[in-house]
Amino acid sequence: MKQNNSILNVSGKILGASLFFLTALVPNAYSQTRVENSAYYTKPSVVDLQQFPSLVSNIAQQVTVRIFTDNSAGSGVIIKREGNTYTVVTNHHVIENNSNKLYPVMSGDGITHQATLISTPQIGNLDVALLKFTSDRPYQVVEIAKTNQPLVGETVFAAGFPNWYQPDSLQMSSTRAWGSRAFQLTLGSVEMLPSRTLSQGYQLGYTNDIKSGMSGGPILNSKGQLIGINGRSKYPIAGIRAFRFIDGSQPSIEQFKKMESLSWGIPVSRIKN
């Protein structure tokens, strides 16, 4: 566990040194997470996944998909199957700037499917979109947690496909050509569940590291059940302006200091499909 914790904390140690380089030279690195500013990206590997419970890692790899857009990529999760048609939930900001309205979706087996948008531009005011694709292959559908709300302190796993691989502060390369090999799973816990929802449906604050490209990927509990989807990473560039409750108010400085140190997701209870 000490080894795992050190891996999860690497990004914080070199954040300041890497952020300027990333913002100046690779502006599209933030295109899939509006308030993304985590500048360090670790290389996904089979060894990393072996540190997680096999049940969760197996489910995560099967239900998480990669969604390609014109200039970048995001993540999603398979939530429904009807015959040969599969429904994928993702963030609206993952797909909103795709000019040709075609959404190639890569499943865990590396096969790419042409998906179409089936939701309205936004589901209510949520940062959520639904896609569908057809295939005669049997893909696993994520089980949605029956409890309405996770608990503070509960262990959670966040999955997705980081867009960038940065071995150190001076090197960076795109993982777009990696396909499903870019898959990453991170460990953390639920830290905040504010009674007032933040704008666009964000209400689940958790300690997992979320990187550009993991937006729309699943947040799973220890049973591999879906409790939410990724969307916002830690320490947003916009600062306190990135946090606004649905009533228009902003958190206190004390609340903000805690909120900015967490990733934020949309609870699955808010998503109707």
pLDDT tens string 142-165: 999 987 678 999 999 999 999 998
Q: Distance between CA atoms of 212 and 11, rounded to whole angstroms?
A: 13
How far apart (Å, rounded) are the C-alpha atoms in residues 17 and 39?
9
Domain-wise residue ranges, the chain: 2-42+144-270, 56-134
* pLDDT tens readout for residues 35-75: 333 333 344 444 355 567 788 999 999 999 999 988 789 99
Check: CB of residue 211 under 8 Å from CB of residue 38. yes
Helix (H) or strand (E) holding 103: strand 103-106
- 244 Cβ partners below 8 Å, 6+ apart? 198, 199, 250
H or E element at residue 169: none
CA distance 134 to 137: 9
124/147 Cα distance (integer angstroms)? 22
User: pLDDT digit of tens for each residue in the chain (273 aa)?
Assistant: 444 444 334 444 333 333 333 333 333 333 333 333 333 334 444 435 556 778 899 999 999 999 998 878 999 999 999 999 999 999 999 998 777 778 999 999 999 999 999 865 566 789 999 999 999 999 999 999 987 678 999 999 999 999 998 877 788 888 988 988 999 999 999 999 999 999 999 999 999 999 999 999 999 999 999 999 999 999 999 999 999 999 999 999 999 999 999 999 999 988 865
Instruction: State the pTM of this model.
Output: 0.80
Q: Residue 182 is which amino acid?
A: A
CATH topology of domain 2-42+144-270: Thrombin, subunit H (2.40.10)
Q: Does this chain's domain 2-42+144-270 share its CATH topology with 56-134?
A: yes
Residue 39 φ/ψ, nearest 5 degrees: -95, -5
Look at residue 104 and give its three-state secondary structure: strand
User: For residue 77, which of 95, 90, 61, 93 has the smallest C-alpha distance?
Assistant: 90
Record the tokens describing residue 126, joined without a space: 């949520």
User: Can you spell out the DSSP letters for 28-57?
Assistant: GGGTTSTT------PPP-HHHHTTS-HHHH
CATH C-level class of 56-134: mainly beta
